[in-house]
Amino acid sequence: MSTQNKTHRRTILDIKKMKDTGEKITMLTAYDYSMSLLLDECDIDILLVGDSLGNVVLGYDTTLPVTMEDMLHHTKAVARGAQRALIVADMPFMSYQVSPQAALANAGRFLQEANAQAVKLEGGKEQSDAVYKITSSGIPVMAHLGLTPQSIHQIGGYKVQGKKEDAAEKMMDDARILEEAGAFSLVLECVPGKLAQDITQSISIPTIGIGAGIHCNGQVLVVNDMLGTYERMTPKFVKKYANLNQEIRKAVKNYISEVKNETFPDAEHSFK
Ligand code: KIV
């Protein structure tokens, strides 16, 4: 049950409060204006302009080729569509790793040029200086641990993280360090449910899970995965709430056949 006044734009204070009240946080990715309008109308709490757009929108194999310009372009479109959701822009590969100063300059562009209200970046202790630099300049940061796709070549594949004791301990330490550095929330991707639960109970900021079980304070999915419009790779944690590809194929085949056999456009769709 919702305990919030949701007529205004969600702020990071609303999101943090949801952890305290026990109301689950909902987050979906969005990459364009029309999807943003639709998801915002459904009253989603957070829209993440994920660098997963590299896979589902731009057709790359990984998120590594995604640039600042790609992310700004799509964040601007999403921001034009949403009135109520908190808009979080994903910082692309190499936009925050080089130095905390570069991280701050790039994070600032998302708020100044693209109308986002927060940024997200991947990594733990190694990125905590960047998180501190950005948050202490007044820009909210969502952190991201577990499977961090920008490190795919180091991780060696899309697999569950934190299964071994030392890896689980490091993730727990990283979560605390990121909270300390000022992050307002933490995405946990592909993490065993018990570890996600322990992390969620050990920090005061909300956790948002993707493949991290039921005990996170919120959940996120890639919108194309949950609507069934991206079929190239479907991880185990994705629940398909619709199979829109089937609907789209049906509609397009219908259109092609009506154009070919001259039943479209009919009188109703033509001018006298
Ligand atoms: O880029 C993205 O969409 C993400 C989510 C999967 C959390 O980082």
Please indicate whether residue 226, judged by its CB atom, sits closer than 6 Å to ligand 1: no
189 is annotated as an active-site residue:
yes
Beta-bridge partners for 140: none
CA distance 115 to 87: 8
**Residue of 121, 210, 230 with the most ligand 1 atoms within 8 Å of its CB, for mutation:** 210
Could you tell me the pTM of the whole model? 0.96
Kindly name the residue from 122, 189, 258, 262 that is annotated as catalytic. Answer: 189
With a 6 Å cutoff on the Cβ, whether 52 touches ligand 1 is yes
124 lines ligand 1 (CB under 6 A): no
Identify which of 73, 87, 98 has the alpha carbon closest to the alpha carbon of residue 139: 87
Structure confidence at residue 1 (pLDDT): 46
Asked if 67 and 97 touch (Cβ cutoff 8 Å), the reply is: no
Determine the distance separating the centroid of ligand 1 and the alpha carbon of 91, expressed in angstroms. 11
Nearest atom in ligand 1 to the alpha carbon of residue 50 is: 1
Q: How far is the CA of 51 from the centre of ligand 1 (A)?
A: 6
Question: With a 6 A CB cut-off, is 222 part of the ligand 1 pocket?
Answer: yes
Tens of pLDDT along the chain (272 residues)? Answer: 455 555 689 999 999 999 999 999 999 999 999 999 999 999 999 999 999 999 999 999 999 999 999 999 999 999 999 999 999 999 999 999 999 999 999 999 999 999 999 999 999 999 999 999 999 999 999 999 999 999 999 999 999 999 999 999 999 999 999 999 999 999 999 999 999 999 999 999 999 999 999 999 999 999 999 999 998 888 999 999 999 999 999 999 999 999 999 999 999 999 99
Q: How many CA atoms lie within 13 A of 249 on its CB side?
A: 6
Domains of the chain: 12-241 (3.20.20.60), 244-272 (no CATH)
How is 31-54 classified by DSSP, letter by letter?
A: -SHHHHHHHHHTT-SEEEE-TTHH
Give kind and range of the element (H or E) at residue 221.
strand 218-221
Does ligand 1 come within 6 angstroms of the Cβ of 100?
A: no
Pocket test for ligand 1, best of 87, 119, 220, 238 (most atoms within 8 A of CB): 220
Probe ligand 1: pick from 28, 48, 189, max atoms within 8 Å of CB? 48
C-alpha of residue 250 to centroid of ligand 1, in Å: 29
* CB of 187 shorter than 6 A to ligand 1: yes
Whether the upstream peptide bond of residue 192 has omega within 30° of 0, thus cis, is no
